[in-house]
Structure 1
Amino acid sequence: MSANPLVDFLRTFGPVEASDSLCDENLRQTQAQFSVKPLKTQAPRAAAIRESLLRSEPQNVILTGTAGDGKTYHIRQFFTEQFHDRADTWPGDDGVLLATLPTGQELRIIRDLSEVSDTEKANELEGFCQALLGQRKDRIYLVAANDGQLLKYFRDAAEAAKLAEKARYELLHQTLAEMLREERETVTSLNLRLLNLSRTWDDALVENIFDAILEHEDWTSGCGSCAALADDKPCPIQLNRSLLRRVDGAPSPFRDRLRQSLRLAAANDQHVPIRQLLTLVVNIVLGDAKNPDDPLLNCATAKKRANQREYRHTNPYNNACGLNLRPERRNANRVFRVFEVLAVGLETNNLIDAALIQGKPEALHDAIFADEQVYGSNLYAPLLQDYLAKGGTTSGAEVINTFRRGLEAQRRRAFFRLEDTEIPEMSSPWRLTIFHHGGVYLRLLGSLGAGAPRDVVDAYTRQLIRGLNRAFTGMMASDDEKLWLAGTIGKTDDPAGKVATIDPIDRASMTSFSVRLSLDPTTKRPSLSVAASKLLGKMNLPALDLRPLLFEYLMRVSNGSLPSSFSRQCHQEIRHFALVTQTQVKAVFNDDQDQGQVVRVLSLGDRGEMRANPIEI
């Protein structure tokens, strides 16, 4: 059997401690070393770069973000496409590469600010500042820099500058810091487009990375005649690859759930750079748990695993969580943290565990085991049989431990393969994670992003109102049409309160205040706020940032969990939201002639409806 050089090339993208091939500067050299075609991926902000630099009045462009976000890759792609006759001059011998834009202006390219010498930084400082401030039109800059490097550049310049120049550098530092903090790409005071790649989520990019690896043309040429591709003993590399490939043009369930998990992590501020996405796909396809010192398959070890049917070592669902790696290496790769936070495989679910152990309900059992037998029933059935036969004996401790590990592996497999369904809710694969409502959160994100009609969004709004009412009052209220901003009077350790000092907020009102659920333009997360009608004038009311954790808290409380059993931090966040909102709503109706205040003592009716008994103070 001849080895496919593509497999050896992809191994260099795996979760190793140091991987030079993952740096754009060394990528082409590594491709040439293994004689493979380049990985074809589209830079997600390439269009924005072209739009800014190729317009009639070009803008300076700064690409920022964390290591591995593809800043240098974006610049190289623009340079080689726009100046294709000079592609062989990339990256150049100096820290600054020069080109000419269609407008005739000079383009000065700094592919990585951290690699530019102090002398070159000093030489570029004045021209860079003048270009950003619009004081110099003959040159335009395209710069890549991590957030910290970019701010440090202007901060150091301000500290070393004379008094006449100090103010300009401080202004640039302050403006750039505000743009990064507020996630703004442009400001009127600068001729600049600031593209923060750490804040870029793009479903198409994730799919593009999967396809770049899984559909690489060298799979066909390198594996087409391999003798190891037997039906009864499939090559684990090709088997794992097949589980991630598209099915009839649509992403496989496994691949779709991976993308959803990454999207949920992004909403929870767990940014995964492009470099780590490549690592994830490679580790799923090539991961091998038998030898932690060499945790990736090559063609020779893949053949051995197939011949000996040792597929338990190449389980792609375990590989997705980095379980083929030693803990220290797994922790060094942030992409595996996504699935560690979800607790995939460790979170139990009575309904799904019953299907795995007892085979009932049959429909759910069949949905888990109907397809893909190699990592399903072939691995699990012998463990279950041993557990049922020997688990209760005096010598059954090892059998139980082995079965427990196998059960965890099947939970992971179920999470990555089960269809996300709301009926019955307990069979949702997200119930196998700590984010039981992860799928609901993603559907809400999709609805808000697509501008769904109000009746669709209202279903989520009602659930959140009910969760807030229960969390505020500590009572099992059923009211989902009015938001009661209840609290306590005086000092108390009880986080819940049964006193309201303002009228409840109607879910939908055209004349007063209403509850609004929208997509925040900065965080790109759902946001719940109290909105004032046009009759009351413009008001800047606070918004509740619905991160996945806070959303999970409110949904669980809405469905019957006790507020105190989940997160004290979440309760503090909603209490702060309630207090600030109350203060601003009261200010609208403040009447100096009426010094009295009405306090409403809340209780529940027979059907869980909120009742208010007013007491005038």
Structure 2
Amino acid sequence: MTPPAAHWIRFLRNYGPLPTNGNLFDEHINAALKRAQVRPIELPTPSVDAMAEKVAAGEVRSILIAGTAGDGKTYHARKLWERLGGDPKGWDRHEKTKTLELAGGRALTFVKDLSELTPEQGLAVLAGLESSALEPGHPVGYVIACNHGQILDRLRTFRSPADGSASRLLDDVQRAFLEPGRTIPGLMLNDLGGATQRHSFRAVIKAVTEHPDWSHCDGCQLNAGDRQCPIAANRRRAMGADDAGLFISRLEDLIDLARLNGAHLPMRDLLALVANMLLGHPDAKDNLMTCGDVARLQEERLTDRASIYRNVFGANLGHRRAMARTVFRTLGSFGIGEESTNTIDGLLVYGQHDQSLRIDFDRLVANDRVYGAGAGYLTQQAQYLEGDESAREEQTAAAFVQRLSDQRQRLFFTLPAEDAAAYPFWSLSMFRFAGDYLALQRCCEQNLAVSPHVRGRMVRGLNRVMTGLLLDNTDTIFIASSGGFSQSKISVLCDTEVPAKRVGNGAGLRLRFDQITQRPAIEVHVAPGAAASVKFDLTPVRFEFICRVAEGALPSSFSNECYEDLLAFKVRLLRKAEHVRQQQMTEHDSEPGEPTADAGELQLAFIEIEENGSGFLKRVTVGAGA
């Protein structure tokens, strides 16, 4: 008997990481819906309403819907077509451009994909775009779906058919891509690539897990009585039914960190991720389950291998296939499952038998009978603990080590925040200080005070990088050099010292939110005034580097790239300080009656360290008469 939700699950499966996943392309979706006889996955498109309102009000005559591959450009164009009264069936016709008549004698020409146009067709479209944007009375507007690079390349090579002049839109469009919020009269730029991925992922999860065709699962025999359907179990966890949304919140944090590190996960990747989370299993065809696989997996007692906590990282696909997908490669870069602490591994290995850990083991591991300490885990744990030495070194050890990796991944998403002191879940990733970074990001964005503990650790790390000394100062920043080579690893000659916190318009360190990068930034003012500052973009990797150094790691042992970036930042600070001094000397010389320093005399400030790690300056005068 065919399970009642079989058609829906097969349709959803085609969104997953398959070699031929046509459902991820809006051009093919309607045909797939007709074959599967299911309702479409509706993703929210709030910008469509804004675009439609501006077109209807005559505020804009043309629109560029821009983004990278998979951001949903064609999907947004189709939704705008329907929102403005276009026939959905008319959109499905295989035409590169189509025109929609509007009220008042106006019209909109839709271009589904700029890259599909020939050079001649592209020239005609761009000429019309320029006319519509720059001529208020132009009757025909354009809606163009395009990649960032495509539209810029076409505009750079554009020559007007009328007089051969270069594009008049190029500079405005380039600036609008670089400066979010910048407006162009007559032309609206909807940059989908700039959307916050955290919010996009939440929308995808909601659209997939709350799809109406899940109702077919009600009463399914595969999820009744003692039978547990892994697809249904994964859906419950993705909806937050069992953990009040903790799993999705942690996953959103990872996606947010990836974005802040410069990775972009388009909507297409997020859909593939969600489908894999729900349906992934290493023993199913193409590693994605159908309803037909569930009965077999239940009989073979393999349902625990469908763990949503493994599927997040593409573990069901195997290493090679997972690394071929940007979304799994990005999430895999956090090293979750490979990193751990002695406390957490002690809980997983010995918790069942250690009375001091048994309560925590039952509460955090054994409480999950599906993907936690089930029969398979406990059997392999016993074999590992009770087997002879050779068994530990060979198959039993390898199998149990994989089980440990699986449990670390699960614990990362399930450990309560209140247990972070005993079981720090961020230590299960390569970014041990990621929680502090996210808190810093929120504080800077909302203009709130940053935790003194976080600020102090950052100052200590900056001091250790810029001096090469094990300084513990958290109230002062030493901008130091070696006297000759500004990028020397050991710098004991202090050029300038500034407070760790800027007060008013004075010198010091300020942590602020950068509207362009959407990240926190370190801004050090070497002297009073806005012009005496140097900014350092603070990515999660750079923050982790600074914190690791503050905790005692050698700079070059974590990231040579971050080390070089911070040394370059120091050079910029030294140059800015020298520039400020030159200005002050010029102003000083121009004032009559002021005393001057003795000729040939030089004041040097050497950094010395007390036994408690606190650095202080020892000033020495060098030169004639010293």
TM-score (norm 2): 0.89
Q: Does 1:346 align with 2:338?
A: yes
How much has 1:601 moved relative to structure 2? 0.8
| Aligned equivalent of 1:2 | 2
How much has 1:401 moved relative to structure 2? 1.0
CA separation in 1, counterparts of 2:577 and 2:186? 40
Equivalent residue for 2:85, pick from 71, 83, 86: 83
Q: Does 1:66 align with 2:68?
A: yes
| Aligned equivalent of 1:437 | 433
Q: Does 1:176 align with 2:181?
A: no
Pick which of 133-142 and 480-489 moved more: 133-142
The 1:547/1:59 distance shift into structure 2, 3 A limit, reads farther
Partner amino acid, structure 1, of 2:615: M
How much has 1:380 moved relative to structure 2? 1.6
Query: Is this contact kept in 2: 1:97–1:110, CA < 8 A?
Result: yes
The 1:109/1:493 distance shift into structure 2, 3 A limit, reads closer
CA separation in 1, counterparts of 2:604 and 2:61? 57
CA separation in 2, counterparts of 1:312 and 1:602? 59
| Aligned equivalent of 2:254 | 261
Report the 3-state secondary structure (helix = DSSP H, G, I; strand = E; otherwise coil) of the residue aligned with 2:42: coil
Q: Does 1:313 align with 2:266?
A: no
| Aligned equivalent of 1:109 | 110
Report the 3-state secondary structure (helix = DSSP H, G, I; strand = E; otherwise coil) of the residue aligned with 2:60: coil
Pick which of 23-32 and 576-585 moved more: 576-585
| Map 1:136-535 → 2, pairs under 5 A | 137-158=138-159, 164-166=163-165, 168-169=166-167, 172-180=169-177, 182-187=178-183, 191-220=186-215, 222-247=216-241, 252-291=245-284, 294-359=286-351, 361-362=357-358, 364-378=360-374, 379-393=376-390, 397-420=394-417, 423-424=420-421, 427-452=423-448, 454=449, 456=450, 458-491=452-485, 494-531=488-525
CA separation in 2, counterparts of 1:367 and 1:496? 49
Query: Is this contact kept in 2: 1:130–1:136, CA < 8 A?
Result: no
Partner amino acid, structure 2, of 1:211: K
Query: Is this contact kept in 1: 2:66–2:145, CA < 8 A?
Result: yes
Query: Is this contact kept in 1: 2:426–2:433, CA < 8 A?
Result: yes
CA separation in 2, counterparts of 1:205 and 1:118? 34
How much has 1:99 moved relative to structure 2? 2.6
| Aligned equivalent of 2:592 | none
| Aligned equivalent of 2:610 | 605
| Aligned equivalent of 2:567 | 575
The 1:601/1:255 distance shift into structure 2, 3 A limit, reads same
CA-to-partner distance for each residue in 1:316-336, whole Å, 9 max, x for gaps? 222111111144432232110
The 1:187/1:457 distance shift into structure 2, 3 A limit, reads farther
Partner amino acid, structure 2, of 1:193: M
CA separation in 2, counterparts of 1:151 and 1:337? 29
The 1:283/1:527 distance shift into structure 2, 3 A limit, reads same
| Aligned equivalent of 2:538 | 546
Partner amino acid, structure 2, of 1:323: A
Partner amino acid, structure 2, of 1:270: A
CA separation in 2, counterparts of 1:512 and 1:422? 41
Query: Is this contact kept in 1: 2:481–2:487, CA < 8 A?
Result: no
The 1:459/1:74 distance shift into structure 2, 3 A limit, reads farther
The 1:556/1:365 distance shift into structure 2, 3 A limit, reads farther
CA separation in 2, counterparts of 1:445 and 1:96? 43
Partner amino acid, structure 2, of 1:381: L
Report the 3-state secondary structure (helix = DSSP H, G, I; strand = E; otherwise coil) of the residue aligned with 2:531: coil
The 1:524/1:101 distance shift into structure 2, 3 A limit, reads farther
How much has 1:519 moved relative to structure 2? 1.3
How much has 1:59 moved relative to structure 2? 5.3
How much has 1:212 moved relative to structure 2? 1.2
The 1:233/1:172 distance shift into structure 2, 3 A limit, reads same
Query: Is this contact kept in 1: 2:71–2:192, CA < 8 A?
Result: yes
Report the 3-state secondary structure (helix = DSSP H, G, I; strand = E; otherwise coil) of the residue aligned with 1:74: helix
Query: Is this contact kept in 1: 2:337–2:407, CA < 8 A?
Result: yes
The 1:151/1:512 distance shift into structure 2, 3 A limit, reads same
Identity %: 27
CA-to-partner distance for each residue in 1:461-520, whole Å, 9 max, x for gaps? 332112101221222322212211123222498523122112334413235212111111
CA separation in 2, counterparts of 1:136 and 1:597? 70
The 1:104/1:600 distance shift into structure 2, 3 A limit, reads farther
Partner amino acid, structure 1, of 2:508: S
Q: Which has the larger radius of gyration?
A: 2
How much has 1:437 moved relative to structure 2? 1.2
The 1:430/1:530 distance shift into structure 2, 3 A limit, reads same
Report the 3-state secondary structure (helix = DSSP H, G, I; strand = E; otherwise coil) of the residue aligned with 2:45: coil
CA separation in 2, counterparts of 1:310 and 1:422? 31
CA separation in 2, counterparts of 1:259 and 1:576? 32
Report the 3-state secondary structure (helix = DSSP H, G, I; strand = E; otherwise coil) of the residue aligned with 2:497: coil
Report the 3-state secondary structure (helix = DSSP H, G, I; strand = E; otherwise coil) of the residue aligned with 1:324: helix
RMSD: 2.7
How much has 1:251 moved relative to structure 2? 5.1
Q: Which runs of 5+ in 2 are unaligned?
A: 590-596
The 1:247/1:140 distance shift into structure 2, 3 A limit, reads same
Report the 3-state secondary structure (helix = DSSP H, G, I; strand = E; otherwise coil) of the residue aligned with 1:259: helix
CA separation in 1, counterparts of 2:37 and 2:79? 21
CA separation in 1, counterparts of 2:199 and 2:325? 23
Query: Is this contact kept in 1: 2:348–2:365, CA < 8 A?
Result: no
CA separation in 1, counterparts of 2:522 and 2:76? 36
Pick which of 498-507 and 86-95 moved more: 86-95
CA separation in 2, counterparts of 1:578 and 1:417? 41
The 1:364/1:470 distance shift into structure 2, 3 A limit, reads farther
Query: Is this contact kept in 2: 1:113–1:143, CA < 8 A?
Result: yes
Q: Which runs of 5+ in 1 are unaligned?
A: none
How much has 1:312 moved relative to structure 2? 3.9
CA separation in 1, counterparts of 2:31 and 2:447? 46
The 1:18/1:541 distance shift into structure 2, 3 A limit, reads farther
CA separation in 1, counterparts of 2:103 and 2:441? 40
Partner amino acid, structure 1, of 2:309: Y
The 1:43/1:356 distance shift into structure 2, 3 A limit, reads same
Query: Is this contact kept in 1: 2:61–2:132, CA < 8 A?
Result: no
CA separation in 1, counterparts of 2:535 and 2:144? 35
The 1:366/1:555 distance shift into structure 2, 3 A limit, reads farther
CA separation in 1, counterparts of 2:45 and 2:394? 52
CA separation in 1, counterparts of 2:366 and 2:48? 43
CA-to-partner distance for each residue in 1:184-243, whole Å, 9 max, x for gaps? 34356x5433332222115333212111111111111x2112111134330111111112
CA-to-partner distance for each residue in 1:226-274, whole Å, 9 max, x for gaps? 11113433011111111211338x8532222211111111111111111
Query: Is this contact kept in 1: 2:17–2:276, CA < 8 A?
Result: yes
The 1:59/1:585 distance shift into structure 2, 3 A limit, reads farther
Query: Is this contact kept in 2: 1:532–1:539, CA < 8 A?
Result: no
CA separation in 2, counterparts of 1:146 and 1:246? 35
How much has 1:23 moved relative to structure 2? 0.7
Report the 3-state secondary structure (helix = DSSP H, G, I; strand = E; otherwise coil) of the residue aligned with 2:604: strand
Query: Is this contact kept in 1: 2:477–2:497, CA < 8 A?
Result: no
The 1:81/1:101 distance shift into structure 2, 3 A limit, reads same
Query: Is this contact kept in 2: 1:185–1:194, CA < 8 A?
Result: no
